[in-house]
Structure 1
Amino acid sequence: MILALDVAVAGDYVDTVRSIMRDAELFLYGAAVTAERARGTSWERIGAALRLTA
């Protein structure tokens, strides 16, 4: 939530946007993984695309 100018402290806006971006990124990765699994992509291939290792 963006704070009003009279209550915001230095860095509040940047912190808020960073949090929104992180949430959006997680949502989009989740949607992409769901779509990939629906089309039959293996977990191994999805992990490789996400640069994950076991």
Structure 2
Amino acid sequence: MDYTTCAAFNCGRPDVVFMVHDPGGGLAPSGWSGRYVNSYDDGIDAVHSRLGL
């Protein structure tokens, strides 16, 4: 990846996005329900928390 292409945004580094798929629809959010975390491990912990793991 050429980080200079998007250098104005987060030094060209893309955000890492975590998603949860719930085929039954029970966890599907209505509207914006995102949140920012500071590290990959915090993102994994947030997904596990949302899933009740």
TM bucket normalised to smaller: under 0.3
Which of 1 and 2 has higher RCO (CA within 8 Å, sep 6+)? 2
Greater per-residue helix proportion: 1
Greater Rg by CA: 1
**TM-score normalised by L of structure 2:** 0.27
